[in-house]
């Protein structure tokens, strides 16, 4: 029986989303920082989760996530948080739009390949030392300008497939229904049942 979920993150936005999606569970954020030097989301998520030693009745989880843009060969990927300094939405999205306008082909406006996906891997560390991972993906495209005020990171430039609004224009509840983190956390919830 799990009484408490410990989350290894310094990102208050992620923690808020995790609390909203795991509503009902006792969720405690631990501001743990590790060097994210893994080559995959899995490796970084496992490294962060292993930094917490859960007691019986507790679980430790850590999310490693990022944006993969097809025409940039999957960048910024695991480097999403470090793509621009300081990593404000304005800096991250501004740099992404600039890099895409120079590197994503000279097709006429409206015909550029702007497909992208958000990926979230959550590592779960059990008191026994066992580790599992769950993954959530949200496919979509990158807009040509920033839109919306909600969320964080690249939310103002990401439109999920079959929708018109960016994540930053959607309510938090709507983003959670569609997002990579929402998908991964619902898999985690199913495991806990």
| Binding footprint of ligand IMP on the chain (CB under 6 A) | 11, 36, 63-67, 80-81, 87, 92, 118, 151-155, 167, 179, 181
How would you class 124 by CB atoms within 10 Å of its CB: exposed for 0-12, middle for 13-18, buried for 19 or more? buried
**What are the φ and ψ backbone dihedral angles of 88, each rounded to 5 degrees?**
-80, 160
CB-nearer residue toward ligand IMP: 2 or 34: 34
Q: Whole-number minimum distance, CB 163 to ligand IMP, in Å?
A: 14
Our answer to whether residue 64 is catalytic in this structure is: yes
Nearest to 64 by CA among 118, 144, 140, 3: 118
Residue nearest to ligand IMP (CB): 153
Q: How far apart are CA 97 and CA 86, in angstroms?
A: 16
Note whether 85 and 134 are within 8 A (CB): no
Q: How far apart are CA 170 and CA 178, in angstroms?
A: 10
- Check 3, 37, 63, 64 and give the catalytic one: 64
Q: Whole-number minimum distance, CB 186 to ligand IMP, in Å?
A: 15
Spatial CB neighbours of 106, under 8 Å, sequence gap ≥ 6: none
Torsion angle, alpha carbons of 64, 192, 176, 80, to 10: 0
Q: How many CB atoms lie within 10 A of CB 145?
A: 9
Q: Whole-number minimum distance, CB 129 to ligand IMP, in Å?
A: 23
CB-nearer residue toward ligand IMP: 59 or 142: 142
Q: Whole-number minimum distance, CB 48 to ligand IMP, in Å?
A: 8
CB-nearer residue toward ligand IMP: 65 or 133: 65
CB-nearer residue toward ligand IMP: 81 or 104: 81
Instruction: Write out the catalytic residue numbers.
Output: 64
């Amino acid at each position: 029986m799990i009484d408490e979920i410990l989350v290894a993150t310094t990102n208050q936005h992620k923690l808020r989303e995790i609390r909203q999606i795991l509503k009902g569970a006792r969720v405690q954020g631990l501001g743990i920082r590790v060097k994210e030097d893994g080559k995959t989301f899995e490796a970084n998520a496992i490294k962060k989760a292993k930094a917490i030693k859960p007691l019986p009745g507790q679980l430790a989880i850590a999310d490693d996530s990022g944006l993969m843009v097809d025409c940039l060969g999957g960048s910024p990927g695991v480097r999403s948080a470090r793509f621009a300094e300081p990593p404000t939405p304005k800096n991250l999205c501004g740099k992404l739009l600039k890099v895409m306008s120079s590197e994503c082909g000279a097709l006429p406006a409206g015909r550029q390949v702007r497909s992208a996906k958000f990926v979230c891997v959550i590592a779960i560390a059990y008191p026994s030392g066992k580790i599992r991972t769950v993954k959530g993906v949200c496919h979509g495209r990158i807009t040509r300008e920033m839109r919306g005020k909600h969320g964080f990171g690249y939310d103002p430039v990401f439109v999920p497939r079959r929708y018109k609004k960016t994540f930053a224009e959607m309510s938090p509840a709507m983003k959670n229904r569609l997002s990579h983190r929402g998908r991964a956390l619902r898999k985690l919830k199913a495991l806990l049942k």
